[in-house]
Amino acid sequence: MESTVNSTNQYLPRRSGWPAAFYSMLLTLPLLMGGLAQAQDVETINIPLSRPGEPVSIDVSILSAHIEVIGEDREDVQFDVSVLSGQRSIITPSGAKPIKTGGYSLEVEEEDNRVSLNSDWRTNRVRVTIHTPHDANLELSTVNDGVIEVSDVNGEFELSNVNGPITATNVSGSVIAESVNEDIRIELTGLESDHALSLTSVNGNLTVALPDDAGAEFHIDTARGNIYSDFEVEVRPTKPMVDRSRKGRGVKVKVGTVITALVNGGGPVIKTKTLNGDIQIAKSAG
């Protein structure tokens, strides 16, 4: 009988007849509700992959979370989950009585190397650390007081954090990163012509770090911020950029102007756009 692994790393039998490429785990975990901002014990969930050794896709969307993804030499995906909970109480005729217990539910599914995490977090703030193979496509999002961090991963990334920062270190591939009120920093190990790279924030600073010999064409759009570069750049004359796409049965055309700056003679296009923040073209620490 095949097995999956539960939150305490004990093996659970997989029922015969379940497809080998699909299973899910639903965990309802009791929490001790202590004082404000008190972290709970870490629950560990190991997810075997249908096709070990091949790229994996991971999808995590949580209302309020610190999401960290770490690429490692491994053939499964591991989730380490802990909760930061606040004080709650029940109001009675004699006054407020503190609640010492609470709970949440967590569901992780894997099918054909696609792993998704769904949850009922209620009012709790959660920390999720994901240990994944280096080759992974990531779709990560959080909204309230969250953090997104990625390191040592190669793939296609869609990273969205409304009210928190985004940091990706030692990564390669396509990166689409969006924030509203915080900074975005992406440190790339290299560039390829077929990879999309776009950083967008309203009030945050944007930093793209490149190896010394990397060539890139930056399209820079900032209304009020400054522009800094660790590289010598060739600034091209500003010209309208036309983006044409279909919309229903019609066509949508968007025209705007950007600053074009070439690093090491140019290369793949990197789009950076912020309203109130600064933009920095940095050299990778390595």
Q: Has residue 149 been placed in a domain?
A: yes
Stretches in the chain below the pLDDT threshold 50: 1-39, 101
State the pLDDT at residue 125.
76
Own/partner long-range contacts of 31-34 (Cβ < 8 Å, ≥24 apart): 31/83, 31/85, 31/101, 31/102, 31/103, 31/104, 31/124, 32/100, 32/101, 33/85, 33/86, 33/87, 33/88, 33/98, 33/99, 33/100, 33/101, 33/102, 34/85, 34/87
State the pLDDT at residue 246.
75
* Contact assessment for residue 108 and residue 127, using Cβ atoms and an 8 Å cutoff: no
Q: Has residue 279 been placed in a domain?
A: no
State the pLDDT at residue 40.
59
Q: Dump pLDDT digits (tens) for 147-164.
A: 999 999 999 999 999 989
State the pLDDT at residue 2.
39
Q: Has residue 174 been placed in a domain?
A: no
Q: Has residue 15 been placed in a domain?
A: no
pTM assigned to the model? 0.79
Q: Has residue 88 been placed in a domain?
A: yes
Residue 86 CA to residue 112 CA, distance in Å, equals 38
Count the Cβ atoms, other than its own, within 10 Å of residue 174: 15
State the pLDDT at residue 16.
38
* Contact assessment for residue 118 and residue 63, using Cβ atoms and an 8 Å cutoff: no
Q: Has residue 123 been placed in a domain?
A: yes
Q: Has residue 263 been placed in a domain?
A: no
Q: Please return the burial class of 240, using the count of CB atoms within 10 Å of its CB with bins 0-12, 13-18 and 19+.
A: exposed
Number of structural domains in the chain: 1
* Contact assessment for residue 102 and residue 34, using Cβ atoms and an 8 Å cutoff: no
Question: Tokens 């930061």, residue?
Answer: 84
Q: Has residue 191 been placed in a domain?
A: no
Residue 97 is part of which domain span? 25-164
